[in-house]
Amino acid sequence: MQNISLHNYQDFLLRYIDEELDLRETEALLAFVALHPAIAEELESLQSTKLDIEVISCPNKAVLYKNIFPVILEPETIVYPYKQKLFKKEKEKAPVVLLKWWAVGAAAVFLFMMVRYGMLDQKAASTMSKNSISKNKVSTVPTLSVIKNNPTINNTTTNNAVANTGSMAATKVVTDIKNNTSNAMEYSTAQNIEHQSIPTVSTVTARETAQNMPSYNGDIIDVKPTIIAEITVPSTTINDEPTEYIETIDTEAASSNRSVMVGAFEIDKDKFRGLFRKVNAIIKNKENNKNEK
Amino acid sequence: MTEKDYNESVLLYADNVYRFIVKNLRHTEDAEDIVQSAFEKLWIHKESVETAKAKSYLFTVAYHLLIDHTRKAKRISLQESFENDTQTIYQENKALKKVLHDALATLSETQRSLVLLKDYEGYSYEEIGEITKLTTDQVRVYLHRARLKLRNYLISPQQVL
């Protein structure tokens, strides 16, 4: 501790006013002041320079706070008057559909097949009906002659599916009937007897006889009975005669359904389906290979 | 320093900083601006300022803002009369106080700041040195000179008469 003297007392006085002296220095200064009244007056004058604490409030202290007094703006409805001018309508664009090439190709082939099949089915149906009509024409021509010659047995001849009317047996029957119109029982008997041979002949030789029939004038004079004699008629086919004929017709229709006309070429549908399946199998294999990679 | 600490600093130290500035500047509006700037700076740097040192930080910032403001005011030769300031918030009721504050006006800015920091805020020489970026000895010498100057002003013949 530095000793207080007349040379350094002022520093001690100022430090005392600033409250920078410790307890021992304070006691030493007060003792020194007590010994020197002039210094006591000087101390009093220096103490008058010390400012009294004033309470001054900051006027805008609320501005300094953060997030304690949030300013909430009341909702205000302001309508922009030209809002209608701001609306825009974008031009419609065609949707972009990304398809794989094989899918597009398969779809095209499928559509082509559908269209083609549908058309061909209609054609097949029409051709089938035409064929049946033509067959009926071929078969009905003699029948009409029979009917013309003997209208009374129209039902019996038609019921026998007389596509075989071109046969010699039929003509013979008709001839017999023509000659024996008075005896109905005999006719029926004869018809029944001869009827058994009709389908057999028709199934085997219908086309031949149709081709060999040079002309038809309503008379059956040109018929050669020798042809019949050449054909052996199995006894088992007697009852199956109409069925066998129908089957022949069905077979032709089925064959026409199986074939597809592609331009001038006739393609079997089954083969075409097989080809289509093979193509699908190849495409699926490629797709699987891609997925595995 | 958290947001809560900052707001508490406002509550505790805003008046002190304002008093320190307004006693120096004798202009309330400028004092408000400086106080607001000081607290804004504290808010910006609140992450790096410890709560215990918030007051010292505020006075440091306010003091340097005060110095900048005073230098700027000197450059533009702005002379404003403290007596004519209509927004002065304090009034002198006593003659002694009025004379003392007149005496304060005769001090330099640094001396006045030191006196204000010492008498109003009770800072030590070291703390005042930290705020004003002066050494402890400089603070002590400047402050003693200010005291003697104030005393000489108070015991001058004009004031006595």
Look up the ipTM and state it: 0.76
> What is the distance between the alpha carbons of residues B31 and A59, in angstroms, rounded to a whole number?
10
* A61 has a chain B CB within 8 A of its CB: yes
From the candidates A11, A17, A57, A58, which should be mutated to test the interface with B, based on the most B CB atoms within 10 A? A58
Contact B118 A48 (CB under 8 A): no
Q: How many contacts does A have with B, using Cβ atoms within 8 A?
A: 84
- Quick one: average pLDDT of B121-130? 92
Contact B116 A51 (CB under 8 A): yes
For residue B10, which residues of chain A lie inside 8 Å, CB to CB?
61, 64-65
Mean pLDDT of chain A: 65
- Range in A165-179, B71-85, B94-108, B130-144 with the lowest mean pLDDT: A165-179
Q: Which of A128, A149, A157, A142 lies closest to A210, judged by CA?
A: A142
Domain regions of chain A by residue span: 9-47, 101-285
Identify which has the larger pLDDT, A30 or A200.
A30
Quote the pLDDT of residue A244: 47
Determine the straight-line distance between the first and last CA of chain B, rounded to whole angstroms. Answer: 53
> What is the distance between the alpha carbons of residues A165 and A152, in angstroms, rounded to a whole number?
16
Would you say B46 and B1 are in contact if contact means Cβ atoms under 8 Å apart? yes
Mean pLDDT of chain B: 83
Contact A51 B115 (CB under 8 A): yes
Q: Which of B76, B56, B58, B78 lies closest to B66, judged by CA?
A: B58
- Quick one: average pLDDT of A134-153? 44
> What is the distance between the alpha carbons of residues A30 and B97, in angstroms, rounded to a whole number?
27
Which of B32, B148, B154 is nearest residue A48 as measured by Cβ atoms?
Answer: B154
Say which residue the tokens 């008709």 belong to: A174
Record the pTM.
Answer: 0.46
Which of A49, A54, A60 is nearest residue B90 as measured by Cβ atoms?
Answer: A54
Which of B3, B11, B90 is nearest residue A56 as measured by Cβ atoms?
Answer: B90
- Give one word for A110, left, alpha or beta, with left for phi > 0 and alpha for psi -120 to 50: alpha
Give me the CATH topology for the region B1-90: Rna Polymerase Sigma Factor; Chain: A (1.10.1740)
Contact B36 A51 (CB under 8 A): no
Identify which has the larger pLDDT, A202 or B58.
B58
Identify which has the larger pLDDT, A130 or A238.
A130
Predicted confidence (pLDDT) at residue A132 exceeds the cutoff of 50: yes
Which of B7, B32, B35 is nearest residue A65 as measured by Cβ atoms?
Answer: B7
* B106 has a chain A CB within 8 A of its CB: no
Domain regions of chain B by residue span: 1-90, 92-161
From the candidates B19, B29, B101, B114, which should be mutated to test the interface with A, based on the most A CB atoms within 10 A? B19
Contact A49 B103 (CB under 8 A): yes
Q: Which residues contact A42 (CB under 8 A, 6 or more apart)?
A: A10, A13
* A70 has a chain B CB within 8 A of its CB: no
Which of B17, B104, B144 is nearest residue A14 as measured by Cβ atoms?
Answer: B144
Most confident of A105-109, A131-135, A207-211: A105-109
Contact A59 B32 (CB under 8 A): yes
Say which residue the tokens 């599916």 belong to: A161
Quote the pLDDT of residue A291: 87
Give me the CATH topology for the region B92-161: Arc Repressor Mutant, subunit A (1.10.10)
* B128 has a chain A CB within 8 A of its CB: no
* A18 has a chain B CB within 8 A of its CB: yes
For residue A43, which residues of chain B lie inside 8 Å, CB to CB?
none
* Token pair of B148 as six digits: 């003697």
Contact A51 B119 (CB under 8 A): yes
Quote the pLDDT of residue A247: 47
Predicted confidence (pLDDT) at residue A254 exceeds the cutoff of 70: no
